Chains A and B, each alone.
Chain A
Amino acid sequence: MAIRANPRLIEELELYGAEDVSKCYHCGNCSAVCPFSRDPFLFPRKSMRYLQMGLEEKLKGNLDPWLCYYCGECSDECPRDAEPGETMMSLRRWLTSQYDFTGISRLFYRSWKIESAAILLVAALTGLGFWLFGSSVGSLGVYDGPGAFFPSSAIHKFDWALGFLLAGLLLVNCARMWWFSIGRDPKLRIPVSAYVRRLFLLPFHFFTQDRYRQCEKKRPWAIHLVLMLSYLTMLVLIMFFLHLVQSGPEIDWRVHAFGYLATAGLLGTTAFALYGRIRKTETHYKHSHESDWIFLILLGYVAGTGIVQHVLHRAGLNTAANITYLAHMMGVVPMLGLEVPFSKWAHLAYRPLAMYFSALQEEAMEARGRASEETARLRAA
């Protein structure tokens, strides 16, 4: 098969945040210090090589970036300051844009202006839509119950609709990820039984982030786990218990206990990440792509408006609470609607999938190795 090289690949990747890729002289230091690098997935040096050679198609099917958790050891130990860790980060952004069939992700990652504009547009549309809806079904002074500006039952339906839409988009992208890394490779023949046998890896890695835990530094894993669990708690509360969460003004501890915990988790980790990125406290915080800042700002905004809305409602200021609710939705909808399928959040699907796919790849490769050994043996006999 002819291999087509893209000599401008490094320049393209620089738009996704890569720096100094061409400095690499392939000493293999990074692959040797990396706690995850092992046969047959050797990284980050190999990815650096593909980039230098412009092997775009090979990189598209490369799962290595998703197996890296950016502990930063490789960048710290790099004798050339070639920033292999940041290259892997940029490759994750690039891969996200390659998986995305709409091309929106590509636009977002390459231009923060377009991403910001899209966020503002979706926010404005959300605001307008909810305002018109709210005014038609209720009055601004009522927060909950009959005549509420945002009746929880309606919001509930909207949430589920949005959820299905996002899941659909993400699923298509996941299918493309499968096609690039496994499907189109005729050498990888994976039996259905293997797919079923390894399926447990998906929920396992999603919920435990066990691989992240194996990094030499444990704190980033802990922080990420808290963030993820907080999100998950929020998601469950909103998708299944919205009516309980929204009712008031008395505090329903059955749900709010979880809500408070999750909020604390979200705020704490967001503040930590913001502080880290501003002060560049750790290797993985040294380089920040525009999309990282947008993501953190959105996160902070959503958490902040959520708290204010909650407090205002409990204080009996229902009009103010409804306005804050509207402002909150204007953050939530673009954050979920744009970040989940098209930007940073997509990794919630790609990471566990990559563990799953790489396990399948490895199994197929081993089987092929055994088969060729067998053939060689038979031939010799």
Chain B
Amino acid sequence: MGGNGKIGVFFCLEGTDTPPELNLEEVARYARNLESVVRVEVMGTRPRLDPETLAPDLKRAGIETVVVAGDSPGHFKQAFVRALALNGANPEEVRLASFREHGTVPGKLTERAKAIVACAVRDVPFGLAAVPKPVPVHPVTVVIGGGIAGIQASLEIADAGQKVILVEKSGTIGGHMAMFDKTFPTLDCAACILTPKMVAVAQHSMIDLMTYSEVQEIAGSSGAFRVKILKKARYVDPDACVACHACRDVCPISIPSEFDSGITTRKAIYMPFPQAVPNSYLIDAESCTYILSDGKKCGACLTKCAKDGIHLDEKDTVVEVEAGNIVVATGYDIFDASRIERYGYGTLPNVLTALEFERLTNASGPTGGTIVLKSKKYNKRKKAEEWVFDAEGPRPKSVVIIHCVGSRDARYNPYCSRVCCMYSLKFAHLVREKLPDAACYEFYIDMRAFGKGYEDFFERIKHEQVFVVRGRSAKVTEKDGGMVVKGEDILNDRLMELPVDMVILSVGLQPVADVESLARMFGIARDRDGWLTEMDYNLDPTATERGGIFLAGVCQGPKDIPDTVAQASAVAARILRSILSGKGQGSRADLTLEEIDARSRELAAR
């Protein structure tokens, strides 16, 4: 330890996300009683620190070591470094006690903050002092979420010979990736690389696939969880169903297709998409006339099923399984673009979200992959005109892609969603490729082409005559039957008012709607943006404070497919380690202040 040993603890808050249950005064009182601490000060939110005034202050108190505590103390470090240097003390002696990095345990924020401060005062890395005890571990793993993250993690673990139960909420695995047309920057066909993995899951002897099921409750403790899973009634026996589509053809109910992001319809008895796994029909109880009328009406599909596979009296069941580890791979929702009225989504027919365009340009989409404008058609059943995509419809002559819709915006989601720049560039490429006569504009704020090969891709689309305009457009208005997009072309110092045919909104990612109840069920915290929190942002991005529960994919924060796959494989490695060694990870959340305190004293004494 450097200096004279006298330590000052200064609390400086960033302020944007200080949870109300964190009692800073109590932490400060605790810090005052720590050894060597001569001064504790709560500097408040975003203090303006001046090294020139701090220096004499520190000198008077004889402080040569400073602990900066707060949610992001690194923001305030520099002032103290300079103050110490001005005093002729060792400027290295500024330590950070970061609540955000180690501090998010639901319900125990104040206790955790105390432990973090104590470790910083003793110059012991928190990660070393707060090591949970190993626990015996049950060999079965439950994976929650059947997107690419869940699929990858399940396959990795199962391929190693360990049992996996994969629980998926919807009727098929595949998640968002199954909806995509191409992946960036390689322009691989998403379905072509995903479907073999989906089939592998279905056929794997070590994977129990439970689609149309939801985890309801997680009891037990790390290494020995008891997981309650609700198996919703599918009303169609997947073993009997041969996907002959006879039932679909007679079903009178049409509702927007989730898989096609609402640009086509599906029936109440449906298969999510042709390559669904399991490749079987199911019935949406919320729109089926027979089920809604308690068997009094309809029932048309019953007579058509040659295999007698439809059981409209099927009931939901709950199963309980034991598991040693749980992988949370619950994914994300996309931002609701209709919240930004100025973009006209929902009122102007040819303003699309990214996911809608993804389905439109997909070869399995409603137009077979032809990019067309919506055209008005008369719907005989509804007796009204409606806007639909028709493969013979008019082709757009100009397409505008607007970046950062709902992202990097204090009013909606303040964070960068990370994938939108790249998928927008991919869209631009697809537009130019499929419609060589159409002009394509990208309105962006900053181009975040950060990954391997991404910058190359950006350069490539610039050479494909895509007009890349720096400046996010703010307005889409209707004019003479067409649309006008208004935006500032910042680099050319002019205002653009472009007449366009189609607008694609690059909507961001956000936590799933029920993330709060999910987090409560898992017993893990959420960060200020709502994503589930990992154990350590830098060094342990897959584990959580709750031992045995791991995170994979976007549920932890926005990321693209390669990163998601990498994280899922990393989770599998962690889980296999615990199973093979027989030592599961205990919960750091369960460690008491006294335990961490004692351990940090022990380490400091060495």
Contact = CB atoms under 8 A, between A and B. Distances in A.
A32 B411 contact: no
A273 to B, nearest CB: 27
Contacts of B472: 27-29, 32
A78 B488 CA distance: 14
B490 interface: yes
A81 interface: yes
Contacts of A33: 342, 474-475
B411 A79 contact: yes
A39 to B, nearest CB: 5
Given A31-B495, A38-B495, A79-B409, A26 B490 contact: yes
B475 A27 contact: no
B473 interface: yes
Nearest to B406: A79
A29 B493 contact: no
Contacts, number: 61
B487 A28 contact: yes
A37 B495 contact: yes
B495 A42 contact: yes
A39 B494 contact: yes
Nearest to B472: A27
A45 B488 contact: yes
B445 interface: yes
A97 to B, nearest CB: 25
A32 B488 CA distance: 6
Contacts of A39: 494-495
Nearest to A29: B474
A156 interface: no
Assign chain B's interface to a size class: 20 to 34
Contacts of B475: 32-33
Contacts of B410: 78-81
A77 interface: yes
Interface string B387-415: 00000000000000000100011111000
A160 interface: no
A204 interface: no
Nearest to A41: B495
A25 interface: yes
Contact of B488 (A42, A77, A79): A42
A195 B446 CA distance: 42
Contacts of A29: 472, 474
A42 B493 contact: yes
A20 to B, nearest CB: 10
Contacts of B409: 79-80
Interface string A78-116: 111100000000000000000000000000000000000
Given A31-B488, A32-B487, A42-B488, A77 B474 contact: yes
Nearest to B487: A32
Contacts of A45: 488, 490
Contacts of B445: 25-28
Interface string A149-172: 000000000000000000000000
Nearest to B412: A79
Q: How large is the interface on A (under 10, 10 to 19, 20 to 34, 35 or more residues)?
A: 20 to 34
A74 to B, nearest CB: 9
A26 B470 CA distance: 9
Interface string B467-502: 000111111000000000011101001110000000
Contacts of A81: 410
Given A29-B472, A32-B471, A32-B475, A77 B342 contact: yes
* Of B404, B474, B490, most A-chain CB atoms within 10 Å: B474
Nearest to B403: A27
Contacts of A27: 404, 408, 445, 471-472
A79 B404 CA distance: 10
A118 B473 CA distance: 47
Contacts of A32: 471-475, 486-488, 495
Interface string B436-463: 0000000001100000000000000000
Contacts of A79: 404, 408-412
Contacts of A38: 495
Interface in A4-62: 25-33, 37-39, 42, 45-46
Nearest to A43: B488
Contacts of B474: 28-30, 32-33, 77
A28 B471 contact: yes
A27 to B, nearest CB: 4
B443 to A, nearest CB: 8
A78 B494 CA distance: 19
Contacts of B487: 28, 32
B488 A28 contact: yes
Nearest to B411: A79
Contacts of B495: 31-32, 37-39, 42
A45 B445 CA distance: 13
Nearest to A79: B409
Contacts of B412: 79
Nearest to A49: B490
B489 to A, nearest CB: 8
B16 to A, nearest CB: 11
Contacts of B473: 28, 32
B445 to A, nearest CB: 4
Contacts of A25: 408, 445-446
Nearest to B493: A42
A375 to B, nearest CB: 21
A31 B486 CA distance: 9
A32 B402 CA distance: 13
A32 B443 CA distance: 12
A267 B471 CA distance: 44
A15 to B, nearest CB: 15
A13 to B, nearest CB: 17
A55 to B, nearest CB: 15
Nearest to A30: B474
Contacts of A26: 445, 490
Nearest to A33: B474
A265 to B, nearest CB: 35
Nearest to B445: A27
A78 B414 CA distance: 12
A32 B472 CA distance: 8
Contacts of A37: 488, 495
Given A28-B473, A31-B488, A79-B408, 5 more contacts: A28-B487, A32-B495, A33-B342, A38-B495, A79-B409
13 contacts: A25-B446, A27-B408, A27-B472, A28-B490, A32-B474, A32-B495, A33-B475, A37-B495, A39-B495, A45-B488, A77-B474, A79-B411, A79-B412
Interface of B: 342, 404, 408-412, 445-446, 470-475, 486-488, 490, 493-495
Interface of A: 25-33, 37-39, 42, 45-46, 77-81
Ranked 6 nearest A-B pairs via Cβ: A28-B488, A28-B471, A32-B474, A79-B409, A31-B488, A27-B472
